[in-house]
A and B are shown apart, each in its own frame.
Chain A
Amino acid sequence: MNALRLVWIYPDLLSTYGDRGNVLVLERRARLRGLPVEIVEVNSDQRVPRDGHIYVMGGGEDLPQTLAARRLNADGGVHEAVGRGAVLFAVCAGYQMLGVEFGGADNTAVQGLGLLDMRSGRGERRAVGEIVADVDPALNVPRLTGFENHQGVTRLGPQAKPLSRTTVGIGNGDGTEGAYAGRVLGTYLHGPALVRNPGLADLLLFWAIGQLPPLHPEAEQLAHRLRDERLAAVTPSA
């Protein structure tokens, strides 16, 4: 194939806390396998390219989230790309936006992108802290470790599957965490969620380009040490 095109959606609105990490991890894991990578950063005043392989959306505050959803619905580029099979990965505010609706500022319902069958609103309390969740076995991805920081409560409809079930943390608010349907996947693990979850990064790459050559173990030794350290810190019995 030609270069793998990673499209980072609206870093000017949806890049709150280390979201660049997801783009960098995808890039690194593709390059380590000898795949050329092209990164396209699309600001909110630019047209979303239709020909990306993986689209990445980050977190954001209430107002930027509402603005981003409005613009993405008007642009239609993400919908078009997903329609022809591109991968879409979103965290936190970006994840909520994928649903039919989400709670904006003052918890008024805002129309989402409608790419996942789910609705989000605002919960009683803010969920802040480490999160650990076991991924749907169908996806063959090791347990997730990350950090969540949101006040959202998300309810999935029949067309969306939970990405995982929480062991530590809040996630969607009903014991599940994240959601996926087809090649659209979202999670409350915020910021650089893929850093501690290289297996999830590889799932996205696999969806985009098919079978992946294995990595040299040394290339991911540090990431695995970090992962083990974090999991041990929050699940002492594990």
Chain B
Amino acid sequence: MDNSYRTGGLGAGGRTRLPMRAKLATTVGGAAKTVSRLAGRDGSVIGGIVGLRLEPDLVSLLSQGRHIVLVTGTNGKTTTTRLIGAALTALGQEIASNVYGANMEAGLASALSSAPDAPLAVLETDEKYIPAMIKATRPRVVVLLNLSRDQMDRAAEIWLLARRWREALASAPGCRVVANADDPLVAWAAGAAREVTWVAAGQRWREDSWCCPHCGAHLHREGDDWSCRECSNRRPPVTWVLAGENVIDPSGRMSPIGLALPGRANRSNAVVAMAVAESFGVAPLAALQGLRQVTSVAGRYTQVQRNGCDVRLLLAKNPAGWLEALDVLEPPPAPVLLAVNAQGPDGRDTSWLWDVDYRRLRGRMVFVGGERKLDLAVRLEADEVAFQMVDSLDEAIGLSRAPHLEVLANYTAFQQYRAVVGRTE
């Protein structure tokens, strides 16, 4: 076990070394955050934006002397960041974290400056920013979850992204990578790192990794295993395994995960969190205790009562996310409301709807909402799924006459419904 976090010379000393300008930047940033909160906004980014304007190296300065974990991937960043935080509570140390998903540079700066004495930081980081943030924070651990198509109108191409990750990790020798061995793009990117903890975290969505990221040949895939027939690239040997409802740790012991959060994807995130926690000296069973306490993440998976109906809100932003979320739905006859918007944060292009297979919704009550409900309607029609279009959450609740409604929405559609039912955390 590596316990160096306890002896690494952390604590208040790290903070007092902040240069004057950085101190001013965090103070002014903090004031801006308070004003923003008073104005009724979320406040998690504005402080960072103001701070970065005064001190462009703010993230780097705020990271000095701390143990940093960066978490990235297309899906599961916010949840995994939260789970790692929960697993590390066993250490009894304060942890800086951007738990509400503000994952670009300003969000990181804000999270670090609002917990100036925390010796640990677990930071969700946008896929595009990870190379720059690796440079700025000199992380102790980088977590690579998965990589798949997402908001192509503004995101980088994923093969290109994998190459940038790979280059960034190759020139970050002091950092351990915890990576999903079952995702060939992720494994290729992580393969450049000096030290890797490989996790068999599973891969439900495979449409972006049929070919070898190294040479381009069609990959041979059998179960979770994969290998290239034309070069030496293959699935690396793993030390952590997600096995159904259980986790197998490096000692070979199998334990039930028993999360409060639903779904395979979250069990996968939990195993990754355990692997990270272990690198900080937290034993698997201690980590599990923390993980099981998490019941909802930034409003996701929240269940609320509305007009006599139990409404559960699920968020999914891209085809891989929708695939996992459709797995999580309560079985029929529970009715389902699907909602899609195409505002900036959602991506303005709805083409991805055609990458999701909706046929398993046939035969159950389905409602379609959101600002782009016609796109979704045409998509469901092609998959021969019967549906009704609705203009609001309440209309779906009223029409369903059911005790329970499952709601699956993409980013801004989710936020709109969340505003309707009232934030619960």
Contact = CB atoms under 8 A, between A and B. Distances in A.
A135 interface: no
A67 B153 CA distance: 23
Interface residues on A, range: 35 or more
Nearest to B206: A12
Interface stretch (B78-86, B134-142, B294-302, B344-352): B344-352
A45 B218 contact: yes
A16 B378 contact: no
Nearest to A21: B354
A225 B374 contact: yes
A150 to B, nearest CB: 11
B158 interface: yes
Interface stretch (B111-119, B209-217, B250-258, B274-282): B209-217
B211 A44 contact: yes
Contacts of A128: 153-154
B38 interface: no
B353 interface: yes
A43 interface: yes
A61 B160 contact: yes
Contacts of B349: 17, 147, 149, 191
Contact of A12 (B153, B210, B382): B210
B314 to A, nearest CB: 21
B355 interface: yes
A61 B152 CA distance: 11
A129 B348 contact: yes
A203 interface: no
Interface residues on B, range: 20 to 34
Contacts of A149: 152-153, 349
Interface in B152-195: 152-154, 157-160
Contact of B351 (A11, A13, A17, A43): A17
Nearest to B207: A15
Chain B CB count within 10 A is highest, among A63, A64, A128, A130, for A63
A28 B157 CA distance: 30
B355 A20 contact: yes
B373 to A, nearest CB: 10
A62 B351 contact: no
Interface string A1-31: 0000000000111011111110011001000
A195 interface: yes
A147 B381 CA distance: 21
Contact of B211 (A28, A64, A129): A64
B323 to A, nearest CB: 13
A187 to B, nearest CB: 14
A12 B207 CA distance: 7
Nearest to B353: A18
Given A64-B211, A191-B349, A18 B354 contact: yes
B351 A61 contact: no
Contacts of B158: 61
A192 B160 contact: no
A149 B157 CA distance: 11
Interface string A90-107: 000000000000000000
Contact of B382 (A17, A19, A25, A62): A25
B382 A24 contact: yes
Given A28-B382, A61-B158, A149-B349, A12 B152 contact: no
A212 interface: no
A193 to B, nearest CB: 9
Chain A CB count within 10 A is highest, among B216, B217, B353, B377, for B216
B216 A63 contact: yes
Interface string B348-372: 1111111100000000000000000
B381 A67 contact: no
A45 B217 contact: yes
Nearest to A25: B382
A63 B188 CA distance: 15
A45 B379 CA distance: 30
Contacts of A15: 207, 355
Interface in A23-65: 24-25, 28, 43-45, 61-64
Contact of B216 (A20, A25, A64): A64
Nearest to A130: B348
Given A45-B218, A223-B378, A13 B211 contact: yes
A143 B154 CA distance: 26
Nearest to B158: A61
A13 B216 CA distance: 9
B292 interface: no
B418 interface: no
A130 B349 CA distance: 8
A217 B376 CA distance: 20
Given A45-B218, A222-B381, A147 B211 contact: no
A13 to B, nearest CB: 6
A222 B354 contact: no
Contact of A191 (B211, B354, B382): B354
A124 interface: no
A226 interface: yes
Contacts of B216: 13, 63-64, 67
Chain B CB count within 10 A is highest, among A67, A192, A223, A229, for A192
A61 B374 contact: no
Interface of A: 11-13, 15-21, 24-25, 28, 43-45, 61-64, 67, 128-130, 147, 149, 190-192, 195, 222-223, 225-226, 229
In order of increasing CB-CB distance, the 7 nearest A-B pairs are A191-B351, A18-B351, A21-B354, A12-B210, A18-B354, A45-B218, A61-B157
Interface of B: 149, 152-154, 157-160, 207, 210-211, 216-218, 348-355, 374-375, 377-379, 381-383
8 contacts: A12-B210, A17-B149, A18-B354, A21-B379, A61-B157, A67-B211, A129-B153, A191-B349
Given A62-B157, A64-B211, 7 more contacts: A13-B210, A17-B355, A20-B354, A24-B383, A44-B218, A63-B159, A147-B348
